[in-house]
Structure 1
Amino acid sequence: MAFHPDKCNVLTITRKKKPIDHAYLLHNQVLQHVTSAKYLGVTLNSEMDFGQHINTITNKASSTIGFLRRNLNIGSIKVKTEAYQTYVRPTVEYASTVWDPHDKNDIRRLEMVQRRSARFVTNRYRNRSSVGEMLKTLNWKSLEERRREARLVMMYKMTNLVAIDNQRLVPPRRLSRNMHPKSFQTISACSDYRKWSFFPGTVRDWNSLPPDIATAGSLESFKTQLAKPSV
């Protein structure tokens, strides 16, 4: 089988200002360095910044909304909601535990997908129509809140269902009055990049859960209680 070096690239991930430039060889062919690449459906770049990925999925989701608006010209809110939840929302939520953003602009771009979808589902396109009221009527949580819940579900699985020896998750030396029994030590971070990555960010959210949710006896019970609106 012939080897095609143009099909193999190297993506070096580092946040150093002056990364080490190293040549990689495969079958005596020098591999090309790239600044971004798609891996398992997620666009990665050399600085592990997911802005490019978010740009890709929001553009794709917006195109899908346009397609549905042109081709699903019916009045049924139920059918159009199912279309949104089947064809649009999965596009902007796939693997979100990996790339969940903290940048306000990225968060806004993702929420705009759902806001445009709400107009499509309710067939209300006038500028004076309140999208906030539409979302409330449709009972749609923000995508930001849904990503938070997805991270917490992942944390529950990692700490209750999978035998992972993770040194990042360490019980606190002493439980304070506002901690639940399954709390972890907060993870320090010197940069926003680190502070808002999965473990530091999710541990903070996990520790803030009510005790009855954090200590739920099953995954289904955890999901059910987590999904309930806060009082």
Structure 2
Amino acid sequence: MHNRFKSALNRFHCYIESKIVASSNSKSFYQFCSGKLSSPKLTPSAIIDNSGTTLLTNDDKSVAFSQFFSSVFSHPMNCPLPLLTPSLTFDLPTISHLDILCAFRSLSPKTKCHIVHFGLHNPRKSYCINGVLLNEPTVKEKNVTKVIVQNLSFSYHIQKIVAKARSKINLMFKSFHSKCPTIYKKAYTTFVLPTLEYCSVIWNPSHSVELTKELEKVQRDFSRRLYSRCVLPHVPYFERMQFLELTTLESRRTVTDIVFLHSILHSRYLLDFSSLLIPAPLTRPLRNGHPLRITLPFIPPK
């Protein structure tokens, strides 16, 4: 009976998971995962004081907490705040509005504005807004706070994308119980893949082998964990992609770049591309020639 119930419960979980993935609703997906992972939000309906008495009402609980705090603090003081029940007193220190203003003035001023210096020979002057000094943008990495170097590199952005995609994959494998590869593939393509490809035309790291491998490792690890969860024999990465009918992330970004270039040449975007590329007409007839040949207006010296 236990095995039959366990099998039926597993089928029920698979049905619910496939239904959520098929809906392509991110809100339902996160609600399902949070419900699986979060601890039950149960609050005790009653408390027991030191004498063993069960307290049910909020007034009794408040009095019990006040008495406990009074026994702990060495110099209890009553706070002159308007209370719903005048008979209740709480051991809070008396604070005036002048003390609050002094505490606010002692806080360090904060602003959402930052100063960004470009160039290696920049004098890096300091600027203020309303007397508040503007600081350079910083990032906390491995418990070390350092200044972001403005070298127009998207390495930090790519690291954030990778971390966000990995958290979604971990959430999916912790919440799902199914052993069907199709469910995990649909969940990956619906909720994880858009994170890895959003605006990839701008930050595509085609010049960096390290960043390309870092992005590809997300999909590589996902396919490996999928094979392990679905009890499939281990095969190389490209064979896993063929089985799941997926392509590498690098290939998908290349296709996205080509589609974007095609849209630019056909004036589907309001973009001045004269500084990026120039249509190059044929100087002599070619067998495989076409009118969409392009050339770069500036080629850096080697």
Output the TM-score relative to the length of structure 1. 0.66
Whether 1:172 and 2:280 are equivalent positions in the alignment is yes
Q: Displacement of 1:144 after TM fit?
A: 0.8
| Amino acid of the structure 2 residue aligned with 1:119 | R
Q: Displacement of 1:46 after TM fit?
A: 0.5
Tell me which residue corresponds to 1:149. Answer: 255
Distance across 2 between alignment mates of 1:65 and 1:53? 19
Tell me which residue corresponds to 1:133. Answer: 239
Q: Give the alignment of 1:1-231 within 5 angstroms.
A: 6-12=111-117, 14=118, 16-27=119-130, 29-34=132-137, 46-101=150-205, 102-122=207-227, 123=229, 128-160=234-266, 161-168=268-275, 169-172=277-280, 174-175=282-283, 177=286, 179-190=289-300
Distance across 2 between alignment mates of 1:53 and 1:191? 29
Mean alpha-carbon deviation: is it higher for 156-165 or for 63-72?
156-165
Distance across 2 between alignment mates of 1:126 and 1:112? 20
Q: Displacement of 1:143 after TM fit?
A: 0.5
Distance across 1 between alignment mates of 2:127 and 2:174? 48
Query: Which runs of 5 or more residues in structure 2 are unaligned?
Result: 1-108, 140-147
Q: Is residue 61–residue 113 contact of structure 1 (8 Å, CA) maintained in 2?
A: yes
Q: Aligned in 2, Cα 1:159/1:26: closer, same or farther, shift over 3 Å? A: farther
Tell me which residue corresponds to 1:214. Answer: none
Distance across 1 between alignment mates of 2:301 and 2:163? 29
Distance across 1 between alignment mates of 2:233 and 2:208? 27
| Amino acid of the structure 1 residue aligned with 2:113 | C
Distance across 1 between alignment mates of 2:165 and 2:251? 19
Q: Aligned in 2, Cα 1:19/1:106: closer, same or farther, shift over 3 Å? A: same
Query: CA-atom RMSD, angstroms?
Result: 3.0
Mean alpha-carbon deviation: is it higher for 163-172 or for 122-131?
122-131
Q: Aligned in 2, Cα 1:175/1:72: closer, same or farther, shift over 3 Å? A: farther
Q: Displacement of 1:154 after TM fit?
A: 1.9
Kindly provide the CA deviation profile for residues 136-191 of structure 1, in whole angstroms up to 9, marking residues without a partner as x.
11121111111111122222222321343331231215356355311211354438
Q: Is residue 172–residue 183 contact of structure 1 (8 Å, CA) maintained in 2?
A: yes
The number of aligned residues is: 181
Q: Aligned in 2, Cα 1:50/1:165: closer, same or farther, shift over 3 Å? A: closer
Q: Is residue 280–residue 292 contact of structure 2 (8 Å, CA) maintained in 1?
A: no
| Amino acid of the structure 1 residue aligned with 2:173 | R
Q: Aligned in 2, Cα 1:187/1:142: closer, same or farther, shift over 3 Å? A: farther
Output the TM-score relative to the length of structure 2. 0.52
Q: Displacement of 1:65 after TM fit?
A: 1.2
Q: Aligned in 2, Cα 1:62/1:175: closer, same or farther, shift over 3 Å? A: farther
Q: Is residue 181–residue 226 contact of structure 2 (8 Å, CA) maintained in 1?
A: yes
| Amino acid of the structure 2 residue aligned with 1:162 | Y
State the identity %. 24
Q: Displacement of 1:57 after TM fit?
A: 1.3
Kindly provide the CA deviation profile for residues 88-122 of structure 1, in whole angstroms up to 9, marking residues without a partner as x.
11221111111100211111111111111212334
Describe the SS at the equivalent of 2:258: helix
Describe the SS at the equivalent of 2:115: strand
Mean alpha-carbon deviation: is it higher for 120-129 or for 87-96?
120-129
Describe the SS at the equivalent of 2:158: helix
